Structure 1
Amino acid sequence: MYAIDFAAVGAWNHLHDLLTSGLDAYSYAPHPFREYFYTLVVLDPVVVVLIVLRRPIAPILAAGVVAVDLLGNWISDWQHYHNDLGWLVGNKGGLIQLTAFAVFVFATAAPLRRSFAHRLALVGDGSTRPRRARADRRCQFR
């Protein structure tokens, strides 16, 4: 779910905006968020790669990326929501969907991180097979 959303929705939308509108794509957003929205062209694929590789940092990075993205979208588009609640549901940006996805990421980031860390502890060296437990080196029969 993480990888699909960050790749198909996040990275694609930000890349599409950048390619079709250039550096004016996010001119409506406050300055810091404008630059952040551009960096999502790189950050979203990084999250996808780390999730696919099951790195423990990936869910935490995903939560941070989506938190700032959500905050930037709410702040940037507040005037539209304040004046017309219908815009909230029908807008191109899909703030309802982004908010729902953010709640999902926030709720699952810690358990997913633990799962990835547990898997990494079992595998450790990057192979797909679990490590064997070390044999007790003490002699059992004296």
Structure 2
Amino acid sequence: MPWGERPRWARWVSVIWIVGFVEGTGAHLLDLISGGLHAYHAWPLPSQVLFHALLVVDLLVAVLVARGLPSGPPLGAAVMVTDLTANYQGNWSGLLHEPLAYVGVTGLLPMTLFGLFVVGTALPLGRAFRGIVRPV
């Protein structure tokens, strides 16, 4: 769906999604540049594979949403649920022992807020991309 045909709210939501997923791509790229293939060596193997895959998948979500393709929102929601699950699993012990260490402008808190935003807006954004406008 072209930008001009999207409802105004869908344009704003799309921009937030694109910025968030491009930022995720950048974060995973920086991890890869600084740590190589072993950047996530302390994480379980499935999480390592996921975090490396997100380098491509986050960018794919951003492109799908930018193009207004209906496959973008469900993929984005699935990515965020999977990413947050892996991050909470890997940080759970630290989160229980020092929860305030995870409150900040980077890390788990903003990822969680963005993930909640993505999951909460995925269905209406997907409907908007299909041209189905339902009153809220």
Partner AA of 1:65 in structure 2: V
- Find the counterpart in structure 2 of residue 111 from structure 1: 124
TM norm structure 2 = 0.82
- Find the counterpart in structure 2 of residue 4 from structure 1: 19
TM norm structure 1 = 0.78
Cα shift readout 1:118-142 (whole Å, capped 9, x = no counterpart): 17xxxxxxxxxxxxxxxxxxxxxxx
- Displacement of 1:90: 4.2
- Displacement of 1:76: 0.7
Matched, 1:16 2:33: no
CA RMSD of aligned residues (A): 1.4
- Displacement of 1:78: 1.1
CA separation of 1:104/1:18 partners in 2, compared to 1, >3 Å: closer, same or farther?
A: same
Higher relative contact order (CA 8 A, sep 6+): 2
Structure with the bigger percentage of helix: 2
Alignment of 1:67-82 (within 5 A): 67-82=81-96
Bigger radius of gyration: 1
1: CA distance, partners of 2:70 / 2:94: 38
- Displacement of 1:91: 8.6
2: CA distance, partners of 1:90 / 1:101: 14
- Find the counterpart in structure 1 of residue 115 from structure 2: 102
Listed as ranges, the gaps of 5+ residues in structure 2 are 1-15
What SS does the aligned partner of 2:131 have? Answer: helix
What SS does the aligned partner of 2:79 have? Answer: helix
Listed as ranges, the gaps of 5+ residues in structure 1 are 120-142
- Displacement of 1:22: 0.6
State the 4+ residue runs in structure 1 displaced beyond 3 angstroms.
Answer: none
